[in-house]
Structure 1
Amino acid sequence: MQDRSTASTPHSADGTALTGASADELGALLAYVPDRLRRLIDANRLDALVEIVVDLGRPVQLRFPGDYVLLPHVATVEDLEYVVQRAGAFRADSRTGIDGTLHRLSAIRNRYRDLVGVTMRVGRHLPGAAWPLRPWLERGDSLLILGAPGTGKTTLLRDATHILATVLRRRVVVVDTSNEIGGGGNVPHPAIGTARRLQVPDRAEQYRLLLEAVQNHTPEVIVIDEIGTRQEAEAAATIAERGVQLLATADGRTLANLVRNAALNLLLGGIGTVPLTESMALLRGVVGAAAGRHTVRERLQPPPFTVVAELLNDDLRTIVLYPDAALAVDALLDGERAEAVCLSARLTPEFIRQSLAAQQAEADRAVLADASPAPAPDSSPHTDSNTGGGDADAATAQD
């Protein structure tokens, strides 16, 4: 396994203004928290905050990467009502968002459908997180992102969307399962750049919207969050057959998990069992006890996703990238080690702090620029001259 980890300072890949979970956006989330709880939250740790968990009759919990803090306050019905009054109705999938942000609120209900808990998840855009993936995105590879919950799959997907739409200037359409990619409200969050978005009113209809996006909006790239059913996998395969680049996340921690998932391994070309004849055993080099088997599992067709990325839950959020998904799947089915390279998504508290600091600095510069008076016109006499023109042209031509 090769190591291609990066350690560059986080930046805006295209030089445009940085956007993300700024102090204003975090403030928007905290506005959904009752005052008595807000006063207990340590402002110095907000940059690493992952979730606020409010469960009836239990201490309110702040979750951080690999850790949590219990606040000295037991959640009450009034606390939950405070959240609901501001959030409004939850959708059929028990989720809702906050307009203009990437935050997500998810409800827990009892058997009588009464609200007994809320998970308030912080959504962040971290410019540069997907930059290590640019070579494969630029080449037109379809990329599938896997990983355990909370490892940053959607964060990585969102920044990859921004790179494709704004940096590489592709026609990108996002099919936004739970408004996690483009945020709450009708206007998509600036994090996805110039990408367009289709919201999914009912998860059961997502596969239909995937096909609608291709038929109606002439995309070069389709972005999908949370491929989780056989129908959605079939829709993705159909889109790939039409020559559209795919970018998606799916249920599964690792490539091996997805290979064993009968409902979703179609994303890898589908896995089937075929008879193992003597001639096939010789051709495949099967010897010894394995040659006595009557069947063998193999990939049935080219995978819709040509590249697979596993996002690990380690300190650096390492990306294990399989640059040739077909070869990797075949190797796993043959009991061999799949070739991969290691990258770093840098989705760490330190990276988040640096990214947010860069965003704040960019915002401060924009405010100062708006407040600065325009320079007075030069009224001194002058003559036309080409002096320095060559240097100016050279400077203009620099990349």
Structure 2
Amino acid sequence: MRVTDDLEKLLAILPVPLQERLHAHERLDELVEVVLDLGRRPEARFREGSDYLSEIPVTQDELDGCTARVGEFSGDNRAGIERTLHRISAMRNRHGKIIGLTCRVGRAVFGTIGMIRDLVESGRSILLLGRPGVGKTTALREIARVLADDLHKRVVIIDTSNEIAGDGDIPHPAIGRARRMQVARPEYQHQVMIEAVENHMPEVIVIDEIGTELEALAARTIAERGVQLVGTAHGNKLDNLIKNPTLSDLIGGIQTVTLGDEEARRRGTQKSVLERKAPPTFEIAVEMQERYKWIVHKDVAETVDYLLRDRKPLPETRALNGAGKVSVTRELSEAEWDEPLTTRTGSWHSPVPVVPLGAMEMEADFDGSRVRIYPYAVSRSHLERIVNTLGYPVLLTKEIDEADVVLALRSHVRDKGKIAAVAQNRQIPVHTVKANTIPHITRALRRILQIDEPGIPGDLDAGLFGSLDSEDELEAMEEARLAVEQIVLPKGQPVELLPRAPHIRKMQHELVEHYRLKSESFGQEPNRRLRIYPE
């Protein structure tokens, strides 16, 4: 791991006596910030503890001398030193005069993201959370460099406070080939985010400190356009975002749903429950508990659903030891697995060998009665809708010991191979589904039940893709079906549909996928609509 900090340039703005005291300090390499407050003793803060640098209080002349040696203070009372990563933050009195300075050391640390490099390379959007000073911006800077230099992607950094790429017009070399867009005022950050996508064709957008509802909405718009997002947000843990109405859209948004009596009894909950509103903007979340110990949620949607149902999620804990080796551990829930696994808690190892993915599509021998399926990371509500609508002879069970078949999401089998091991130990076949959508789950059920796959769905039941309670939903689904069957499939031509609400577009997307065609949303709300493509 290599660290560059340009510390001399930061010390040069301080009064000479303080420079001499810091140069002689034995913990200079651990310096985090220097605090200068009018009428108080100057203080140096380190990773652990702090020291006073003088017994003489700071004067107004000393503060004025420091501010004269740095760049111009922006609307958020931050300034920098050109071609460095240091941050100077000002405190002002009621008349706007500077009466305090926080001189923060900015360090470029190369090699910090070894713990999550596989996630960075996956192309999925990543959200970093953590308390101030834990290293979020440092990690963001390194991620931008790796994506631009090592993975050769077009990366644009939205640098609101010039904290990622440093002060001045020329960005710091720590960001590599990544480009940097500066923001005139903090309240314009969401506009610059959209401008970056529309004008500069990035593959990755890097954003520091998403803090307003407009910025959260801009992030969702960018993600919908297929751009990878890497950003930070205010909050120590994922739970904080769930409770924050301003930023909850980053993890899918939270809504109150009223259940029917039967559903409430089945779930064992009250009739009013909290549920996730939409897919998360960020698919991966990293909680930076300490500088070299991070909690990784590889499926934010699943984690949020677990938390809303008062169930304990099982994220990964990744840590970097003194030898530079990354250790990855994950707790195993005894409630989820009734096998005696207490000696294995915190380990990825399994008491039985994991079945290779290709060997799991085994045929099951059913007796003609209803097939009992244990869903693992597969939407239970989708399964129930398919079974009820199509009348398949399937019974969903909550206990793996009662199951004839396990139906699992393929990505979870790969990442958390425990389910394959448990199923093999019980001699239960495992079938996998590629995505948590109605068409994919329907095809998986047909495989399990050995029902022939139709060439082109002729008797398509639109009720599969939603409740169709309104005329708008019925009309939209009929429009999509006719477009596919009368234009796209027979003529091989793309078709644009009429503008629809987001939840209706989602239903149309799934209906198009049922025909094994591709579709995408484009345009701005309220004129956002679907375009369907031929094979």
TM-score bracket for the superposition, by shorter chain length = 0.7 to 0.9
Identity of aligned pairs, percent?
45
Match of 1:50 in 2: 32
- Whether 2:1 is the aligned partner of 1:20: answer no
C-alpha contact (below 8 Å) 2:43/2:51 kept by paired residues: yes
2:295 to 316, 320, 325: 320
1:9-41 residue CA offsets vs partner (Å, 9 max, x unmatched): x26xxxxxxx721xxx10000110010111111
- Whether 2:45 is the aligned partner of 1:68: answer no
1:335-379 residue CA offsets vs partner (Å, 9 max, x unmatched): 111121112367x9x99xxxxxxxxxxxxxxxxxxxxxxxxxxxx
CA distance in 2, matches of 1:238, 1:328: 22
Match of 2:14 in 1: 33
CA distance in 1, matches of 2:314, 2:160: 32
Amino acid at match of 1:214: V
Match of 2:165 in 1: 182
Amino acid at match of 2:37: D
CA distance in 2, matches of 1:74, 1:39: 17
1:246-395 to 2 correspondences below 5 Å? 246-281=229-264, 285-287=266-268, 291=269, 293-313=270-290, 317-344=292-319
Amino acid at match of 1:33: L
Q: Which has the larger radius of gyration?
A: 2
- Whether 2:198 is the aligned partner of 1:215: answer yes
- Whether 2:213 is the aligned partner of 1:230: answer yes
Q: Partner of 2:120: helix, strand, or coil? A: helix
Q: Partner of 2:112: helix, strand, or coil? A: coil
1:151 to 131, 134, 138: 134
CA distance in 2, matches of 1:333, 1:258: 12
- Cα deviation for residue 85 of structure 1 reads 1.3
CA distance in 2, matches of 1:345, 1:211: 36
CA distance in 1, matches of 2:140, 2:40: 34
Q: Partner of 1:296: helix, strand, or coil? A: strand
1:240 to 223, 244, 260: 223
C-alpha contact (below 8 Å) 2:30/2:47 kept by paired residues: yes
- Cα deviation for residue 279 of structure 1 reads 3.7
- Cα deviation for residue 66 of structure 1 reads 2.8
TM-score (norm 1): 0.78
Q: Partner of 2:4: helix, strand, or coil? A: coil
1:123 to 100, 106, 110: 106
Q: Partner of 1:50: helix, strand, or coil? A: strand
C-alpha contact (below 8 Å) 1:310/1:320 kept by paired residues: yes
1:39-59 residue CA offsets vs partner (Å, 9 max, x unmatched): 111343221110000001111
Match of 1:204 in 2: 187
Amino acid at match of 1:303: P
TM-score (norm 2): 0.58
Amino acid at match of 2:17: R
Flag structure 2 segments of 5+ consecutive residues without an equivalent: 325-535
Flag structure 1 segments of 5+ consecutive residues without an equivalent: 1-9, 12-18, 352-399
C-alpha contact (below 8 Å) 1:56/1:77 kept by paired residues: yes
Between Structure 1 and Structure 2, how many residues are aligned?
322
CA distance in 1, matches of 2:48, 2:248: 30
C-alpha contact (below 8 Å) 2:285/2:300 kept by paired residues: yes
Q: CA RMSD in A?
A: 1.7
CA distance in 2, matches of 1:100, 1:294: 58
Amino acid at match of 1:341: E
CA distance in 1, matches of 2:320, 2:131: 15
C-alpha contact (below 8 Å) 1:156/1:345 kept by paired residues: no
Amino acid at match of 1:226: E
Q: Determine which structure has greater relative contact order: mean sequence separation of CA pairs < 8 Å that are 6+ residues apart, divided by chain length.
A: 1
- Cα deviation for residue 115 of structure 1 reads 0.9
**4+ runs deviating over 2 angstroms:** 278-282
CA distance in 1, matches of 2:166, 2:128: 19
1:94-113 residue CA offsets vs partner (Å, 9 max, x unmatched): 00111110000000011111
